[in-house]
Structure 1
């Protein structure tokens, strides 16, 4: 392949939260770009962004204050950031439905450049037509009720991937706090409602995202689910000992179930010192990818950028920097076949396995 702009399918982004926070500016943010954040339609095209999971994530009521505190705390040599409390169901549903509406609007407003996809076949067809493929994902199931009626509603809207928790607790389980250094063995596993959620997601062919789940919850999903084990945006704990990263034991369980991991560009989960600063070279990403490939195999690793939800390396900067990442990985020794697997083929394959296609 002569071009470094390899089509990329991304396991996770938080672009919908940007739109939800500034709905009156959504046309500028989405269609023309405003130079802020990591994603917009022009930069997606420039970077070869072929599709990805668009997360519905409900912020805490005092999110601005909490985010500033997290930014400050995660610059320290050690940290343990307190988690916000569980969210109110009705408030979470307002936010989540609003974000789902924004995703549907993105398709309608794009002039055919963006398409909401519900199958792997639809993603592949969109990519063949040079149309960006979006998949509806929920990060933290605060908007889902214990009876799971809202799960069926969101599935009807196009939901195909769901993480039972962000990091704060839900009625379904518990996440890991932002703690460094730390392992993920923090707190209890899935609740009875969480176990019902896993079974119903299996029945509906909704992918279950293990990123943010604590170790006990991870184990419960592995015991209950009949689908591949997938972490959409997580890294290797052996390289960066953050509570948010996956241990080798967890990676082996994912490998045994023919799942995959999307590497997270968040610098606090890439850097050996766990700090949030963007001033890093390509070596941390290469180290994590090398370790993930060694433990999972080259068919079970992809991208899970966390664009618009994290501080990313300065060499990437935003979605238009994906070709620079491809060039760095080529210099590191990855050939074009492996790059194509990491950038899109592995995601398409695991979605086919998970969605029963």
Structure 2
């Protein structure tokens, strides 16, 4: 097995936010030629990164130095950012979506709306991209924006990031903690889930609080998917999934993508990058045990998180494949973890 195969199809990245902050469309050329970041086309080709969920995310004002300082402590509880109004969120979402389509125009990627398109794009020299929104602030209560964005290619959405929306509530960055924090989905949130089911838009559970998770589990007709979350039994962080939640994901024939963010990997929950690859494998072992080997993949959070030192760029992904093989995963399981499981759950979610 070559170090760059099987190709990785990834559950979450924030490169569109980085390009948006760097100047929008004018910065997208760096994605094609090479940039200072985790994902660009040359690094993807070097590391066997085939594509994934490209998140559109509306940032909150955050003191990053304070956040990093707090999350390096033994315990922490960062205050949730305030909600963002639709009028403020919508233009940011449009700008980042435009960057995604500009990258497609430049030949760097293909925005895929079917698993068949993803399969055809993997290995083509272009990245296979899913248009995903992380935090539904740009969706109005009547869901008109959802309908239009679906026509534009939106196929995955998280009702919340960590701050509240009109649809539900997220979890704070809190350690130690679980996600049993606050109330569940609102009436607007239940309608959002129903309409996403009807359209074939995947509902991402990664930032929802536990009450919201169980509301989706009760009302959704589709597999339960957390694109970038880890095992709470190993790292008791509010962002991670309990064994009870993992059992529900398994029962729904859903999916979990392993988050590379170090605060969700480390036993001590600290935002420190000296994390060995063996710690990631501990989470993978636990997820496979509780969800099944057909329902686990990767959800790196590249360009949006501090990740282990060996994997700061997608060019480093051969190290993860090698670690999986040394750990005893056979070629078939590695292929499932790298991309086959994502394609399976997307086919089921999108109705192919």
**Which TM-score bucket, shorter chain as reference?**
over 0.9
Alignment correspondent of 2:80: 83
Following superposition, the deviation at residue 130 of structure 1 comes to 3.9
Query: Which residue is 1:147 aligned to?
Result: 142
Q: Distance in 1 between matches of 2:30 and 2:307?
A: 19
| Runs of 4+ residues over 2 Å off in structure 1 | 1-6, 128-131
C-alpha separation in 1, matches of 2:29 and 2:321: 29
Is 1:52 the counterpart of 2:49? The answer is no
Asked whether 1:16 is paired with 2:11, we answer: no
Unaligned stretches of 5+ in structure 1?
A: none
**Aligned-partner Cα distance in 2 for 1:128–1:286:** 26
Name stretches of at least 5 consecutive residues in structure 2 with no aligned partner: none
- In structure 2, what is the equivalent of residue 220 of structure 1? 215
- 5 Å-filtered alignment, 1:95-134, equals 95-110=92-107, 113-127=108-122, 129-134=124-129
Question: Please, what is the CA RMSD of the aligned residues?
Answer: 1.1
Tell me the alpha carbon deviations over residues 163-205 of structure 1, each in whole angstroms, 9 at most, x when there is no partner: 0000000000000000000011000000000000000000100
3-state DSSP class of the match of 1:124?
helix
Q: Is 1:193 aligned to residue 188 of structure 2?
A: yes
Q: Deviations over 1:6-56 (max 9, x none)?
A: 20100000000011111265144311113x221111111111111100001
Aligned residues: 351
What whole-Å deviation, never above 9, does each CA across 1:142-168 have from its counterpart, x for those lacking one? 000000000011111110000000000
Alpha-carbon distance in structure 2 between the residues aligned to 1:286 and 1:71: 25
Q: Please say if 1:307 is aligned against 2:307.
A: no
Match in the other structure for 2:256 = 261
For normalisation by structure 1, the TM-score amounts to 0.96
Q: 1:32 to 1:248 in 2, by over 3 A?
A: same
Other structure's SS at 2:311 match? coil
Give the alignment partner of residue 324 of structure 1, picking from 306, 319, 343. 319
- Secondary structure of the residue that 1:115 maps to in structure 2? strand
Q: Post-superposition shift, 1:286? A: 0.8
8 Å Cα contact 1:5/1:322 also seen in 2? no
Matched-pair contact (CA < 8 Å) for 2:134–2:158:
yes
CA–CA distance in 2 between the matches of 1:2 and 1:128? 14
Preserved contact between residue 4 and residue 327 of structure 1 (Cα < 8 Å): no
Q: TM-score, normalised by structure 2?
A: 0.98
